[in-house]
Structure 1
C-alpha cells in the first residue's frame, strides 16, 4: 500500500465506518470516530481484531474529526516477499526517517520483509537501518514502538552474530521496554530479548549483557539477569569452562541478593547449572572397573570447597544454600 493511500485512510469522512477493501499485505487499517459511542460500537463489532489492547489504537486529530488507525502486527512467518526490491532498499532510509508515523510503521515492516527474504541486500545499509530502528524504539507512539520491537526480533533472528557490533543500542532499549508498565509493549520486548539470546552467540553476547546486571534500575537488572542466565545455559559444559566458571559463580552470587525475585531466580538457576558443570568437570569419578579403597581415592575440591575458595563467606553461604535444595521447577522466564 502506498504512503499516499495510507494517509488517506487516516482522513476518511465520518460517514465511512470502516475500510472494506484492506488487502492481505496491508499493515494499517482505518476507522473514523466522531464520538465515544462510535468507539465503543467499533470495539464491540471487532472482538477478533489483531489489536490486543486499546493502547494499540493510535489516534490522530484531523480538525473536527478524529481518525483512528488500527495497526496489524504481522507475525514473521506471515510476512510476504516484496516485488520491487531495488526501489524498496533505495527509499528505505528516507521512509524510516519520515515524520508520518504510519509511514514509519510501514517502513519498519519493510525492513522485516527485506531482512527475511533479501538478507544480503540489506547488509550495506544495516548499520544505518539499526540506528533508525533504535529511534523508533524511543518513539512515544506505542504502534511505532511495538513494530520496531518486532523488527528488532527479526533482525536478531536473521543476522545473528553479524549484528553484534550494533547490538548495544538495541539491547538497552529492549531492556527498557521490557521493564515498563505498558503490557503489550513489555511482552513484545521480552520476546525480542528471548530471540536475541537464542540467536546470538553467548560468547559474544554475555560481555554486552554484563554491565546491565549492575544497572541502577532494578527492573532492568532483572531482565538482564534473565537474559544472562539464558545465554550461559546455551554455553554447555565445555563453553562454561572456557568462559570461566570462576567469574560466572561470582556473577550468580551477586544477583542472589538483588532486589527483584526475577533476578534472584535467574541467579539460582545459573548457580545450579554451574554446580552441575563443576561436578562433571572438576570432581574425579573412579572408573567402574576400579574400586579403590576410600583412603586411596584422589583428593578433589568439592563444590562447597570451590564456592568457599572463590567467594566471600556470605556469598559462598548463599550459593551453597540455593544449590543444596531440590532443583524442580527452576525455569528462566520466557
Structure 2
C-alpha cells in the first residue's frame, strides 16, 4: 500500500529541469509505509537535493550552464526517448524557399500549344530527353515534357524515332501525384495526338485508362487537361482504329472509366462514314448503345442516348438512299418501320424497347409532341 507524504523542510535553491521548468516549492515524496523506511527516504532525498544544489551553484559561479538547451528541431519519437534530429536550418529554409519559387513558376507556366516556340538546341534536348523525363526532379520532368511538345510541333520526324520509348515515360508522368507534372503530361498527350494521329494507335493502350481516370478526377484543372487530351484523341485518330481500342473500357469495373469511355465512343462514331459504319458493324454499335443505356452513371446513359440517335439517323439515311436508288422516291413510314424492325432483330425485347423509346421520344419532342414513357421501362438519359 502507498500513501502520501511529508513536506521536506529547509530545502533551499531550485532544480532546473531540462532548461524549461524550476522546482522552488515544497516537494511531495511518495514512499512505502513504515517509519524506518520513511525516515531513511527523507534523509536520502535531502542529501541528494543538497548535493545537486551545491553542484549547480558551483557551475553557475564558474560561468557554466549545464541545463539542457531547448529543442530547436522537431522531436522524433525513438522508443521511449525523445531524440532530436539534427538539421541544418538555414539550408532547409533556403531549399524550401527555392522549391517554393520553382513550384509557383511550374504551376503558372502551363504553355498553350499555340504559344510554344522552337527549341534553341534541338540536338541537346533530344539527347537528354528520356533521362530528364525519368528524373526525380519534378521541375526537370515538366521542362522535358514541354520539350516533347515543342519537338512534336517543330521537329515531328525526329521525335517520332524516340516516341515508342517516350510514351511509357509520359504515362508515368500522367500517374504522378504532383498535379503540375500530371497536367503538363496531359497537355503533352493532347499535342502528340494532334501531331501523330493514327501513328499513336499502337501506343495508346497504356494511355487510355489513365486519361479516363484523370478526366473523372476531383481536381478541376487536371480534369480539364484530361478532357482536352481525350477530345484531341477523338479528333485526330481515325474512329475505325480508335473504337476497337476503346470498346473494352465500356465494360470496365470502374463506373467512372466506363462513363468517360462511353462519351468518347459516342463522339467518335459520328466521324465514321458509311463504309466505316458498315465495316465496324451496325449491329455491334446498336448493341453497345443498348448496354450503356442501363449503366449506373447518368453520363454513360446520356452518351448511349446520343449514340442511339446517331445510329438511327445514319440507318434511316442509308435506307432512304437505297430506296432512292431503286425506286426514285423516298418513303418516311417504311424507314421508321425498318428502324424498329432492325432494333427488334438485333436486340432482346427489353433492349429494343429501350432504344426505340429513346429515339421515338426525342423525335416527337423535336416535332413539338410530348411522348409518354412506356410502362415498365426505367431508362434515364
> Distance between the aligned counterparts of 2:269 and 2:230, measured in 1?
14
For normalisation by structure 2, the TM-score amounts to 0.66
Relative contact order: is structure 1 or structure 2 higher (C-alpha 8 Å, sep ≥ 6)?
1
1:202 aligns to what?
239
Query: Which structure has the greater CA radius of gyration?
Result: 2
> Distance between the aligned counterparts of 1:289 and 1:92, measured in 2?
63
The count of residues paired between Structure 1 and Structure 2 equals: 266
Q: Is the 8 A contact 2:323 2:330 kept in 1?
A: no
Q: Is 2:163 the partner of 1:126?
A: yes
1:6 aligns to what?
none
Mind listing any 5+ residue stretches in structure 1 that lack a counterpart? 1-60, 330-334
Could you tell me how far 1:286 is from its partner in structure 2? Answer: 5.2
Larger mean Cα displacement after TM superposition, 136-145 or 284-293: 284-293
Q: Is the 8 A contact 2:255 2:297 kept in 1?
A: yes
Could you tell me how far 1:313 is from its partner in structure 2? Answer: 0.6
> Distance between the aligned counterparts of 1:109 and 1:62, measured in 2?
30
Cα distance change, pair 254–158 in 1 and its aligned pair in 2 (3 A): same
Mind listing any 5+ residue stretches in structure 2 that lack a counterpart? 1-89, 367-381
Could you tell me how far 1:298 is from its partner in structure 2? Answer: 9.0
What are the superposed Cα offsets for residues 200-238 of structure 1, whole Å, 9 maximum, x if unpaired? 000110011001001111111110000001111110333
> Distance between the aligned counterparts of 1:299 and 1:320, measured in 2?
14
**Which structure is higher in helix share?**
2
What are the superposed Cα offsets for residues 230-280 of structure 1, whole Å, 9 maximum, x if unpaired? 111110333222221110000000000111111111111110111111112
Could you tell me how far 1:292 is from its partner in structure 2? Answer: 11
2:353 aligns to what?
317
Superposition map of 1:168-247 within 5 A = 168-247=205-284
> Distance between the aligned counterparts of 1:172 and 1:275, measured in 2?
29
Cα distance change, pair 194–62 in 1 and its aligned pair in 2 (3 A): farther
Alpha-carbon RMSD: 2.6
> Distance between the aligned counterparts of 1:137 and 1:220, measured in 2?
16
For normalisation by structure 1, the TM-score amounts to 0.75
Q: Is 2:323 the partner of 1:285?
A: yes
Cα distance change, pair 307–260 in 1 and its aligned pair in 2 (3 A): same
